[in-house]
Amino acid sequence: MTTRRTFFLAASAAAVAAAMLAATGCSTSSPVPMTVPTAQSIARLAPSGTVSLTETFVGGVGAGQGVLTFRGQTYPFKLLGTVIGPGSVSRLEVAGDVYKLNNLSDFPGPYAQGTGPVGVETSGNSELWLQNKAGVIMHLKGKDAGVTLSLGRDEIIIEMSQ
């Protein structure tokens, strides 16, 4: 009975998160890129800046915060994300380079995130590739702790903090 209740709560949280993201323009039908950037796609590009972020997932929804460093200035941001799949109980801490960022206004918004293969992801090292509809790419590396059941593709929304 406890397993069923946990699954039901995770499914409910995922449904709420999907509704929230759809209302803000981030869903699998949103205009985010469907291809995940790779090392080859940024091979000749110089980084535009750097970013670090922390995100905590419970069920199908994640929330977190981060800092973008761009043109010598730091810009804090918040993020909201979903795991496409049954859900997660995990914490992610990553940092890395930002590419193709020409204007600060191109940074916020929905990003598609390729997180890896379909299935169970467990604690360890993480490498994330994210891209938004403006073409901004983030290549992030770090650590994650917990367990995620994913269909291999997740989405996040970045909102600049005041």
pLDDT value at position 53? 93
pTM higher than the cut 0.85: no
Mean pLDDT per 10-residue segment, the chain (162 residues): 37 42 42 67 92 85 93 96 67 92 96 59 69 93 69 77 84
CA distance 142 to 91: 11
Q: What is the pLDDT of residue 60?
A: 72
pLDDT for residue 96: 96
| DSSP output for 49-92 | EEEEEEEEEEETEEEEEEEEEETTEEEEEEEEEEESSSEEEEEE
List the domain boundaries for the chain. Answer: 2-160
The pLDDT, as a whole number, for residue 114 is 58
